[in-house]
Chain A
Amino acid sequence: MKLNFVLNGTPRQVYTEQGENVRQLLYRIGINSVRNSDDGYAFAGSDSILLDGKIVSSSLLIAAQIQGSQIKTVESLSKQGMLSPVQSAMVDAGIVQSAYNIPAAALILTELLDRISEPTKEEIKDAMSAVFIRDSGYEQFYNAVALAIKRTKDPDYKNTLPPEFRDDLKFIGKVKRKVDGAKLVRGERVFVEDRREEGSAVLKMLRSPHASAYIKSIDIAQAQKIPGVVTILTHENTPDVWYTQAGQGFPEPSPYDRRLFGEKMNHVGDRVAAVVADNYEIADLALSKIKVEYEVLKHVMTIDEAQAPGAPLIHDGEIFYRVGAPHDLAEKNKKFDPRDGKIIYPFPIGGDPRKNIAASVSGGIGDMGKGFSDADVIMEREYRPESHIQCTPLETHTVYTKMDGDRLIMHCSTQVPFHVRRITASILGISENKIRVIKERVGGGYGSKQDILLEEVCAFATHSTGRSIFHQYSRKEEFESCSTRKPMKIRVKLGAKKDGKLTAVYMDVKANAGPYGAHALTVPMNACAKSMPLFLCDNFGFDVAVYYSNASPTGAYQGYGAPKGSYALQMAAAELAEKLGMDPLNFLELNRVHEGSMLEILKCLGEGREGVAVPAESCGLGTALKEGAKMIHWGKKEVSNDPDVEIGKGVVIIQQGSGLPGLDQSNAMIKMLGDGTFMLFSGGADLGTGLDTVCVKMASETLQTEMDNVSILSGDTDNTPFDTGAYASSGTYFSGSAALLAARDIKDKILKTASKILDEPLEDLRIQYPGKVVGKKDELTYAKLAWHTQAGEGQGQLIGLGHFTTDKAAFPYGAHFVQVAVNKRTGAIKVQKYYALQDAGMPINPELAQGQIFGGVLKSIGHTLYEGLVYDSDGSAINTDLRSYGVPMIGDVPEDFQVKLIYTDDPYGPYGAKSISEIATNGAAPVIANAIHDAIGIWMRKWPFSPEAVLRELGKIG
């Protein structure tokens, strides 16, 4: 049909099928801002457009419905590249982070302000009701609207809402525009899908319908004959190379227990075959023609099932060790099933696949027996945070691969470009110099893009066929074949004196790894490592065991194992406090870590290496607890006017780390350009959090030049130096420190060079804003310095290098306070107040730091109250769309939601900074559980705390 409509004020005529989906149509004709986050379910709002003045979801429209219509998209908002008041307000309010659907939100807020000049909070909530935001929560949208209203009248109005820190600094700790904010909010072509070229092929995966099965036979002959099919990959024609998908430092503390395609299927959604074809229609047809015969096996889904005697074995293949093989390896390998392939351990991590154990570790300090015998009160409890929660990035996993001569180019949405290169090279059997990985803007990662989940298949297909190939997970694939946080059951035993002083702390952590062992050791260890050191005690002990199962794959998720460990230990602390007759806040104060405390327990909690005891050099817990208690009126009992409703309060303390000292490494390089501006090259992988902005601020502050004079290229394995990647809260501490060191290096070179040019001694020179060297006699601008160094007789371009490794730790801390209202009749829980007070050292980007905390808290509220995959009896997840899975929307935000940044000056972090966002996920589960207890006297020891679960605890449902 000939379709006529007006697009952003311009009449358009497009030839299309009547039934073409409007979102696809708009993207096809160059409208980048309409994205697909949910396969046409219209839940996430990424596809929003203005149709005849009303905001609608374009994926629910067909072409015939828009004949003669007026359509507006976010592309209409930016005139000559300038941001509209709404767009600039959104960037400066800190809500433009991973930003996959931020352009849609900009359009929605613009429509709102056109409709209502000064909307109320409820009206903003209503406008945003169709938009799912995972990264920054929703709270700062209210600030963005307020700021946009001000900017409509005064375009230069400054955002004064976020706090700023240290008056002596110009950029660090100040609200400055995120360096990639403008292009993200404008909806530019910045994501992997935007790199796809005309004529490229697509890859689609045939996935296992069975939770556990062997492929008895696979027949691809009919499928291969279909014109337009490029290649079909199966276990019969792909390399027998075993690897881990975990993007961790090499050698990884994870078993190599998978290959591109296996003969054994270990979960519903496991890879059976991949079809590469000219287009999706051909690929779908080919998938339907592949004939697979399975031998279906009994499956196991839970920790209890996996550890039961005689349980089916998930990996019954031959076991290998690169180093440190156990003495009984030959015994264990006497019998194995070759169809299961191999398990290769890079080094021992306590795995025993013959018992479904992927990894295990035990340890402790002091004397546990003495600790418990010294106790006046001993308490033991089991907690079961066994929900299969999902990262749910708005941009699903996506990759585009192509050849450039004999080199493989990979456009990835990844947190770990250098690990992608290393792992891909090992699978393809080629050297790393033959691969270039380009990290594009990442539309949400949260840990799930720390793993290599689809990149290596596409890479192999491109490398073996020469074709450019695009592959993007559907939302269903994202649920079935991405990585969840490991479900856990945690037994906690505490001993304490009558006065509340802890004498012994023990945690027994059992985790469900799912079908493969990515992060098998470190996630559950982290449950101990990021919860135990919050308490000072002479006797700590822990046992950790991780079991394979046929549930969905697991891996990293913001917070790693800490949210579940924190849930168990903080809740146990509250339970113990009650048993002791103590106020839980007093109990925490009595036992908590302080600045300078030596954290002895960490010497047995290294991540796959020997740990070391380190001190808590900076700790803002005291201030956080004091201020939080005041904010929430701790100790005051609130009373509801609804007789069905009781109100309760809770408090917990939390911590995380800042990267992995001794394991992580970051590098950066900075070049002075011909006009005295700078180009910064960082290996770091900004996944929307503002890491690029952190790095630019490091350089600008050090060199006293405007941020606009420092451009950054990051996460490109050809053009930026090595970095282990963005995980374990390493970004600011590691990548930021590397940028700082590079800036300091070029600063030294600038001063030395200026000393010669100005003929003044080095000690008389200093760097001064804006971008110049000032001596006692004269001064030299960077522009002149650049001319001197880069002219024909110059000494050469000035280049600074920064290399950061450390054995020093910087722990972020926090105290979370909550007030909940619990309806005893319906079981409904309403989070009335949530106050997150967090010590992140010096917050480099205060507004983004707040956004990450809001986002982290809201994610964990969702995890606690309602999120989770549900499986049928065949092991198949039945809620693989965002709505039925259940994610927090703006209507779920606590009524009074506040984030307070507690300033401390860490001696090791760059400008005193520590990590921000992961820690924010650690508080919600225990603090809500404790508040529910305060309200109605029940302890919620399982996730999720749904209304039904509350009613069961109350005995109202059998």
Chain B
Amino acid sequence: MIKEVFKPASIEEAVKLKSESIFYLSGGTQINWAQAQADRKLNGKPAIEKVILVQDLLSKEIKKQGSDLFIGAGITLQELIDSSQTPGVLKKAAGYIASRNIRNMATLGGNIAANRPDSYILPCLIALNAEVIIADKEKISVESYDSRKNYLITQIILPRVDGVCVIDVALKSSGAYPSVTCAVRVSDKDVVVALGCVSDHVIRLKEIESGIMDGSLSGDTLAAAVANKIHPKSDLSGSAAYKKYISGSMIAHLVALSQKGAERKL
């Protein structure tokens, strides 16, 4: 149980309060979630007992600056979906979180900070070359964000990118944990392939991207290359063999769709 709550008056104060055993709390869907505490216990980590409440400090605003879109880290996933400024593919990624209750609470910053391997949103953000601004640091890419550092994310930046970004997930049922989450963006200049649920964090498959870019990988060869490249573990959502197969199949399918410039029908 949380025993001590700090309520800083500013971002700066929040950063000063930070220590290894104190965590930022915004929406609460990760920190206050019983599973999170259970996982910590399972991994031999101490229970979270001290938090810094930042829910009122973080912006929820979405604004365009030049060609970039700046999103306040305090925006909830539902607010992200409801905003007319949010790119469609990001709305769709947030919508994969099946529970409206959770979407009303969980913040975009919190979702990135949690850095879950099965995140629906991280593959999409990575494919969109998204960056985050850390409270007392410079901006870093979402792809290189390290949740162990427990930074306070204040803003998310979506730069203008080319091509078509498409996403998909493999699920047993609408409320289940995903077996695989995936995002692909293909343009004339670059290709990004990001994959969740196959490692301890969302990964980017750069060698695969090169193969797609130079045309050496497509269709079945692409699917096979992906399956060979990843090393998932079996878990409740599926066996390692299934995850390999479905990752390959999904990426090959999404690449074909994005090359056609079409939004995937689900």
Please report A residues at the B interface, Cβ cutoff 8 Å: 17-21, 39-43, 45, 48, 54-57, 59-62, 64-65, 126-127, 129-130, 132, 642, 825-826, 828, 862, 865-866, 870, 878-879, 881, 883-884, 886-892, 946-948, 951, 956-958
Q: Give A56 to B104 CA distance when docked, in angstroms.
A: 6
Nearest-neighbor residue (CB-CB) of A64 within chain B: B5
Do A130 and B99 touch (CB < 8 A)? yes
* CB of B189 closer than 8 Å to a CB of A: no
Chain B proximity of A829: nearest CB distance (Å): 10
Asked if B105 and A56 make an inter-chain contact with CB atoms under 8 angstroms apart, the answer reads yes
- Interface pairs A-B: 10 shortest CB-CB: A891-B174, A19-B2, A40-B34, A130-B101, A130-B99, A64-B5, A18-B5, A866-B172, A948-B242, A889-B175
Q: Does B65 contact A (CB under 8 A)?
A: no
Known: A61-B28, A870-B236. Contact between A891 and B101, CB under 8 A? no
> B residues within 8 A CB of A59?
32, 34
Q: How far is the CA of A130 from the CA of B78 in the complex (A)?
A: 13
* Interface flag for B35 (CB, 8 Å): yes
A65 in contact with B53 given A56-B101, A957-B242 (CB within 8 Å): yes
Q: Which residues of B contact A54 (CB under 8 A)?
A: 78, 104
Given A60-B29, A62-B28, A957-B245, does the pair A862, B101 have CB atoms closer than 8 Å? no
**Partner pick for B175 among A43, A56, A126, A951, CB 8 A cutoff:** A43
CA gap between A586 and B59 in the complex, in Å: 65
Contact of B3 among A19, A881, A948, A956 (CB under 8 A): A19
Contacting residues, chain B, for A43 (C-beta < 8 A): 99, 175
Docked CA distance A442–B143 (Å): 49
Taking a contact as CB atoms under 8 Å apart, the answer to whether A946 and B172 are in contact is yes
Return chain A residues, CB-CB under 8 Å to B239.
Answer: 948, 957
Which residues of the partner chain B approach A870 to less than 8 Å between Cβ atoms?
Answer: 236
Give 11 CB contacts A-B under 8 Å: A18-B5, A54-B104, A60-B102, A62-B51, A65-B25, A129-B101, A866-B176, A887-B175, A892-B173, A946-B238, A947-B242
Kindly state the separation between the CA atoms of A40 and B236 in the bound complex, as whole angstroms: 20
B173 touches A865 (CB 8 A): yes
- Tell me the chain B residues, 70-116 only, with Cβ under 8 Å from chain A: 78, 98-102, 104-105
Do B33 and A48 touch across chains, with their CB atoms under 8 A apart? no
Residues of chain B within 8 A of A951, CB atoms compared: 242, 245-246
Tell me how far the C-beta of A4 lies from the nearest C-beta in chain B, rounded to whole angstroms. Answer: 14
Chain A residue nearest in CB terms to B106? A60
Q: CB < 8 Å: which of B49, B101, B104, B265 contacts A45?
A: B101
Q: Which residue of B lies closest to A644 (CB)?
A: B253
Q: Is the CB of A883 within 8 A of B28?
A: no
B2/A826 in contact, CB under 8 A: no
Q: How many A-B residue pairs have CB under 8 A?
A: 145
Q: How far is the CA of A42 from the CA of B104 in the complex (A)?
A: 13
Q: Which A residues touch B51, using CB under 8 A?
A: 62
Bound Cα distance A55, B176 (Å) = 21
Asked if A826 and B249 sit within 8 Å, CB to CB, the answer is yes
Question: Which chain B residues lie closer than 8 Å to A865 at the CB level?
Answer: 172-173
Nearest B residue to A41 via CB reads B34
Closest A residue to B172 using CB positions: A866
Given contacts A40-B33, A64-B7, A884-B236, A18 and B2 within 8 Å (CB-CB): yes
Residues on A with beta carbons closer than 8 Å to the beta carbon of B2? 18-19, 62
Binary flags per residue of B4-39, CB closer than 8 Å to A gives 1, else 0? 110100000000000000000101110011110000
Contact A958 B32 (CB under 8 A): no
B-chain residues with CB within 8 Å of residue A828 when the two chains form the complex: 170
Given the known inter-chain contacts A19-B2, A19-B3, please indicate yes or no for A948 contacting B238, CB distance below 8 A.
Answer: yes
Within 8 A of A (CB), among B188-247: 236, 238-239, 241-242, 245-246
CA distance A954 to B241 in the complex (A): 14
Bound CA span A957–B173, Å: 20
Q: Is the CB of B173 within 8 A of A866?
A: yes
Q: State in angstroms the CA–CA spacing of A33 and B20 once bound together.
A: 38
* CB atoms of B175 and A57 under 8 A apart: no
Q: How far is the CA of A948 from the CA of B5 in the complex (A)?
A: 45
Contacts of A41 in B (CB 8 A): 33-35
Assess whether B4 is in contact with A57, with CB atoms less than 8 Å apart: no
CB contact between A55 and one of B25, B100, B253 (< 8 Å): that residue: B100
Residues of B contacting A862 in the complex (Cβ-Cβ under 8 angstroms): 173
Chain A residue nearest to B253 in the complex (CB): A825
For the complex, give the distance between the alpha carbons of A130 and B98 in Å: 7
Known: A61-B32, A64-B7. A130 touches B102 (CB 8 A): yes
Contacts of A61 in B (CB 8 A): 28, 32, 105
* Chain B residues within 8 Å of A948, by CB: 179, 238-239, 242
* List of B residues within 8 angstroms of A126 by Cβ: 100
- Which of A43, A129, A870 has the most C-beta atoms of chain B within 10 angstroms of its own C-beta? A129
Question: A42: which of B101, B170, B253 is its contact (CB, 8 Å)?
Answer: B101
Q: Which residues of A contact B238 (CB under 8 A)?
A: 946, 948
Q: Is the CB of B249 within 8 A of A55?
A: no
In the complex, B55 has a CB within 8 A of chain A: yes
Residue of A nearest to B98 (CB): A129
User: With a CB–CB cut-off of 8 A, which chain B residues contact A957?
Assistant: 239, 241-242, 245
Residues of A within 8 A of B145 (CB): none
Assuming the A-B contacts A60-B33, A62-B2, are A883 and B105 also in contact, with contact meaning beta carbons closer than 8 angstroms in the complex?
A: no
Q: Report if B151 contacts A (CB, 8 A).
A: no
Residues of A within 8 A of B78 (CB): 54
User: Which of A127, A825, A879, A888 touches B173 (beta carbons < 8 Å)?
Assistant: A888
Chain B residues, Cβ within 8 Å of A129: 98-101, 174
Chain B residues positioned under 8 Å from A64 (CB to CB): 5, 7, 53
Q: Which of A62, A881, A956 contacts B35 (CB 8 A)?
A: A881
- Given the known A-B contacts A41-B33, A947-B172, are A883 and B177 also in contact in the complex, defined by CB atoms under 8 Å? yes
A879 to B49, CA, bound (A): 26
Task: Please determine whether B102 and A57 come into contact, CB atoms closer than 8 angstroms.
Answer: yes
Q: Which residues of chain A come closer than 8 Å to B4, judged between CB atoms? A: 18-19
Contact of A889 among B49, B173, B241 (CB under 8 A): B173
Q: Is the CB of A57 within 8 A of B176?
A: no
Q: Are B33 and A42 in contact (CB under 8 A)?
A: yes
A residues within 8 A CB of B49?
19
Q: Apart from A17-B3, A958-B241, what are 4 other A-B pairs with CB-CB below 8 Å? A: A48-B101, A826-B170, A866-B176, A881-B35
CB distance from A893 to the nearest CB of B (A): 9
Q: In the complex, are the beta carbons of A889 and B174 less than 8 A apart?
A: yes
Task: Give A112's nearest chain B residue, CB to CB.
Answer: B100
Docked pose: A642 CA to B253 CA in angstroms:
12
Q: Which A residues lie within 8 Å of B175 (CB)?
A: 43, 132, 883, 886-887, 889, 891-892
Q: Are B236 and A878 in contact (CB under 8 A)?
A: yes
How close is B117's CB to chain A, nearest CB, in angstroms? 15
Whether the Cβ atoms of A62 and B5 lie closer than 8 Å is yes
In the complex, residue of chain A having the shortest beta-carbon distance to the beta carbon of B250: A826
Instruction: Determine how close the nearest CB of chain B comes to the CB of A758; give it in whole angstroms.
Output: 62
Q: Which residues of A contact B3 (CB under 8 A)?
A: 17-19
Select which of A642, A825, A826, A889 is within 8 A of B98 by beta carbon. A889
Query: A956–B101 contact, CB under 8 A?
Result: no
Q: Contact between B100 and A65 (Cβ–Cβ < 8 Å)?
A: no
Please give, as numbers and ranges, the residues of chain B lying within 8 Å of A891 by CB-CB distance: 98, 173-175
Complex CA–CA separation, A43 to B35 (angstroms)? 11
Q: Given A41-B34, A129-B99, A866-B172, A57–B246 Cβ distance below 8 Å?
A: no
In the bound complex, residues from chain A placing their C-beta under 8 Å from that of B53 are 64-65
The answer to whether A886 and B104 touch across the interface, beta carbons within 8 angstroms, is no
Bound: A17/B49 CA distance, A: 12
Verify A892–B100 contact, CB threshold 8 A: no
Instruction: For residue B153, give the distance in angstroms from its CB to the closest CB of chain A.
Output: 19
Q: Is the CB of B29 within 8 A of A42?
A: yes
Q: How far is the CA of A525 from the CA of B39 in the complex (A)?
A: 42
In the bound complex, do residue B249 and residue A825 qualify as a contact, i.e. CB atoms below 8 Å apart?
Answer: yes
Within the assembled complex, what's the spacing in Å between the Cα atoms of A809 and B49?
Answer: 61
What's the least CB distance linking B148 to chain A, in Å?
Answer: 23
Contacts of B29 in A (CB 8 A): 42, 60
A886 to B32, CA, bound (A): 22
- A890 vs B238: C-alpha distance in the bound complex, in angstroms? 23
**Distance between B56 CB and nearest chain A CB, rounded to angstroms:** 10
Q: Which residues does chain B contribute within 8 Å of A19, judged by CB atoms?
A: 1-5, 49
